[in-house]
Amino acid sequence: MQRLRFNPFGQVHKGLRALLYDTALLLQHTDFSNEKEIYAAIDRVKLVARLFEHHAHIEDSQVFPMIGNTAPEIVADFEAQHQTDHELSAQLEKCIALFAETNTTDQNRYAGNELAQSFHSFLAFNVEHMKKEETVVNECLWRHYSDEDLQRKVQEIAASVPPADNQLFSYWMLKGMAAHEIVDWFTAIRQTAPPPVFAFFCNLAETALLPNEWQRVQEKIREVALLA
C-alpha cells in the first residue's frame, strides 16, 4: 500500500469546504422577508467570495510557480479554472445587487432564490476544483518536492497572509478539521511559536469549537506535551 503524502492544500481546503457547506445551510435557513437575516446572508456570501479570491491569488502566485516549468499545461488549466471561479464570484455580486432594487417581500424572496442558486453553482464548482488540486496538482508537486519541502512552503504562505485574513482562515479550518488534526496543528504551534501566538489560537479555538470538543483537544495537547 502506498504511503499517504503530505497534502499542502489539505488544511486550508478543509476550512474552505466547511465555510461553503455552512454558508449553503445558512442560505437555506434564511428568511428573505427578514431584513436582518438578509444582511447576515449577504455578509456571509461576501466573506466566501473574498476568502476564495484570496486563496486563488495565493495559489496563482506561490503554489503554481512551483510546477510552472515541469507542468505548464496543468498550471494553465488551473489558472483558467480560477478565472471561471472569478466569474462565478461576479455572478454572486450581481445577485447581491438585486437586493438594492427590492421593495416587497416577494421581490426579496426572488432575489434570495437567485442568490442561493448562484451560490450552489459556486459551491459545486469549487468543491470539484479543490478535489482536482488535491489530486492533479499534488501529483506534480509530489514528484518534485519532499513532504518537508511542502511543509516549509505551507508555513511560508501562512506567514505571508495578513493577520485579519489569517484569523478568518484559521477559524474555518478549525471548523473543518478533525480533532486529531487540530491536536497535531496546535502541538506544532506550541512547540515552535511564541506563547502569545499559541494563546491566540487557543482563544480562536474556544470560539470555533463546541465546549466539549475544545476540552478534548486541550486534554490531548497536554498528553502530547507530557510525553515529549
Domain count, the chain: 1
b/e per residue, 75-97, with b = 16+ CB within 10 A?
Answer: beebeebbeebeebbebbeebbe
**Is 154 among the domain residues?**
no
Residue span of the structural domain in which 141 resides: 10-146
The CATH number of residue 36's host domain is: 1.20.120
Residue 157 inside a domain? The answer is no
Distance CA 36, CA 17 (A): 25
Report pTM.
0.95
Distance from the first to the final alpha carbon of the chain: 30
d(CA 111, CA 102): 8
Residue 227 lies in a domain: no
Encode the chain (228 residues) as per-residue pLDDT tens digits: 788 999 999 999 999 999 999 999 999 999 999 999 999 999 999 999 999 999 999 999 999 999 999 999 999 999 999 999 999 999 999 999 999 999 999 999 999 999 999 999 999 999 999 999 999 999 999 999 999 999 999 999 999 999 999 999 999 999 999 999 999 999 999 999 999 999 999 999 999 999 999 999 999 999 988 876
Report if residue 213 sits inside a domain.
no
Q: Which residue has the cell 488551473?
A: 78
Q: Give a yes or no: residue 69 inside a domain.
A: yes
